[in-house]
């Protein structure tokens, strides 16, 4: 599952100095990250940041993902990171206390989008204690060691998401985007399709801040065309995405104000189930995405004509 733009921006700001330093060093250094399998089909990726040399707080980012669902935990309190150690108190979720055991051998990893670029690091492992218990028991990890890796950090430099080939005009598809905020968090929803006869794609996220953690959960699924019915002129839509969503949502926009989602649409995020999407406010626009869409050549042709 791809990380959202807000997650990538945060990590790029925090981790750019680390990547630059690692690439410039002669001898391989510890990777600052690791990956482990977790229960219920999930995997856990960790990335640490030693902020002291850069005038920033130490940080630990945990991404726990499985297929179209994932949770990212940002810990910047009760975290101590050095070149060779990672220590973090995750509160009710557990704790991590590790030191790096070097191998003396170099390993290289590269971003998935650019095999020509790479970063080298020591191929050793982290040893100590890793205890993580996801909320509502969605997954768990208990391990005394983990092989070091840097892949999560490197992949942040790759752009993701569908290419947008047309918005507005006579684009045959539609996109609905909206959000609902409250003190300490927000939930966002996106539904999109390339035409009324093409599959519909749904993505929801919820952001929660509390205690020492900032948590972002995401769920993305695909459904049949009937899961997202829309009418652009009347600014109405019906959403009935498959599990882990449940229920039906009805969107309507009147006048210049943002439209609102009504009905009983809910979603089960990893670690936070049965979240209501009622009250999400946003807009509905014409839309086409995906470079392989059959309308792309026509849209490109129209674009070139309009620029003459």
Domains of the chain, by residue range, sit at: 5-155, 164-306
Q: How many CA atoms lie within 13 A of 181 on its CB side?
A: 3
Q: What is the pLDDT of residue 292?
A: 53
Inter-CA distances, 145 with 37, 38, 91, 131, 149, Å = 12, 13, 21, 11, 13
Lowest mean pLDDT among 30-39, 43-52, 92-101, 296-305: 296-305
Mean pLDDT for 225-246 is 97
Position with higher pLDDT, 165 vs 267: 267
pLDDT for residue 184? 80
Q: Taking 90 as the threshold, does the pLDDT of residue 298 lie above it?
A: no
Give the residue from 81, 85, 29, 87 showing the smallest Cα distance to 54: 81
Question: What pLDDT band is residue 145 in, cutting at 50, 70 and 90?
Answer: very high
Q: What is the gyration radius of the CA atoms in the chain, in angstroms?
A: 22
Query: How long a stretch of residues is the chain?
Result: 308
Average pLDDT (258-270) is 97
Residue 71, φ and ψ in degrees, nearest 5: -135, 135
Query: Is residue 58 packed enough to be buried (19+ CB in 10 Å), middle (13-18) or exposed (0-12)?
Result: buried
Q: How far apart are CA 220 and CA 130, in angstroms?
A: 28
Q: Is 78 exposed, middle or buried, given 0-12, 13-18 or 19+ CB atoms closer than 10 A?
A: middle
Residue 9, pLDDT > 90, answer: no
Q: Distance (Å, rounded) from C-alpha 194 to C-alpha 205?
A: 22
What rounded mean pLDDT belongs to the chain? 85
């Amino acid at each position: 599952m791809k990380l959202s733009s807000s997650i990538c921006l945060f990590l790029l700001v925090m981790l750019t100095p680390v990547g630059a330093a690692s690439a410039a060093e002669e001898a391989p250094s510890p990777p600052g990250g690791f990956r482990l399998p977790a229960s219920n089909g999930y995997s856990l990726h960790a990335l640490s940041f030693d902020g002291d040399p850069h005038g920033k707080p130490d940080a630990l980012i945990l991404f726990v993902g499985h297929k179209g669902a994932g949770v990212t935990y940002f810990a910047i309190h009760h975290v101590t990171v050095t070149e060779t150690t990672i220590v973090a108190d995750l509160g009710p979720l557990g704790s991590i206390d590790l030191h790096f055991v070097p191998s003396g051998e170099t390993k290289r990893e590269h971003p998935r989008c650019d095999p020509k670029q790479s970063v080298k690091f020591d191929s050793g492992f982290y040893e100590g204690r890793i205890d993580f218990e996801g909320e509502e028991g969605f997954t768990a990890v208990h391990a005394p060691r983990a092989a070091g890796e840097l892949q999560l950090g490197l992949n942040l430099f790759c752009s993701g998401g569908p290419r947008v080939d047309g918005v507005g005009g006579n684009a045959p598809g539609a996109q609905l985007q909206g959000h609902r905020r409250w003190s300490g968090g927000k939930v966002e929803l996106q539904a999109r399709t390339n035409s009324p006869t093409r599959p519909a794609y749904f993505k929801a996220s919820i952001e929660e801040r509390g205690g020492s953690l900032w948590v972002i959960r995401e769920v993305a699924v695909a459904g049949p065309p009937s899961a997202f019915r829309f009418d652009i002129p009347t600014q109405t839509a019906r959403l009935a995405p498959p599990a882990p969503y449940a229920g039906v949502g009805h969107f309507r926009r009147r006048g210049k104000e943002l439209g609102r989602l009504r009905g009983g649409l809910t979603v089960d995020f990893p670690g936070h189930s049965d979240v209501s999407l009622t009250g999400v406010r946003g807009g509905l626009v014409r839309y086409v995405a995906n470079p392989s869409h059959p309308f792309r050549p026509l849209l490109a042709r129209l674009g070139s004509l309009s620029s003459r």
